Amino acid sequence: MTDPNFATMSGQQNGSPSDQELDDTFEQDLRDMLRDGPSLSDTASNIQGGNVTESPFAAPPPQMGQAKSSPNTGNYAGTGGGFAGPGDNGDSTSALAKAKFDSFKTWSISTYKCTRQMLSEKLGKGSRTVDLQLEAQIEVLRDTQRKYANILKLSRALTHHFYQVVQTQRSLGDAFGELGQKSPELQEEFNYNCETQRSLCSNGETLLGALNFFTSNVNTLCNKTMEDTLMTVKLYESAR
């Protein structure tokens, strides 16, 4: 039989430590590690204050003049595109606001000048702003309208009188026809005069239709086309 004390002494002499000694050594090393490392309260305060201790395995910071890159989004800085920074949005907003302010300023100055000129003209304290070339053309148009109005007046009078002439010729032709039937001895002369008056009446109706067409066109030109043009000129003067 083997003696237990002899086995224990043999194990100690051979250099193999026991389980109890291993546990004691591990606990001692753990206490030394915790004592030498930072406390938990210091670590929490560093994280909340932004002072995080860099890990020895972290990537080195970028050098001066190098753009910070990301494998997914590409370069954020540099001249080769990418995303615009906050400064670019501020510059575009400022430029847009400046353009709107300049447009409003120009409109305000123009409106003020036009209003002042209009009040000055209505009160009789200033001369009326005119376009000499346009005023000359307007005067020519008005003179032309007056001439066409006179032609229209004369053509209407001619149409009215010629209508009376045609009606008279028709009545005269009918009278000659009746006389030709009642006077057999002068029937040939009366019938000839009747046919002549009826022929004149027929040609007179054709001429009367042409006069009506001419009068209608002159009326449209004088009272529609030219009048609308002069009305546009008046609106232009009011707007000016």
Question: What's the Cα-to-Cα distance from 59 to each of 69, 106, 211, rounded to whole Å?
Answer: 13, 57, 104
pLDDT at 130: 67
Average pLDDT for the chain: 74
- Assign 99 to helix, strand or coil: helix
Whether this model's pTM surpasses 0.85: no
Spatial contact of 67 and 78, defined as CB atoms under 8 Å apart: yes
Average pLDDT over residues 64-81: 45
pLDDT at 112: 84
Average pLDDT over residues 216-233: 89
Average pLDDT over residues 82-89: 54
Six token digits for residue 57: 């395995």
Q: How far apart are CA 192 and CA 198, in angstroms?
A: 10
Higher-confidence residue of 4 and 22: namely: 22
Tens-place pLDDT, residues 18-31: 556 656 676 676 67
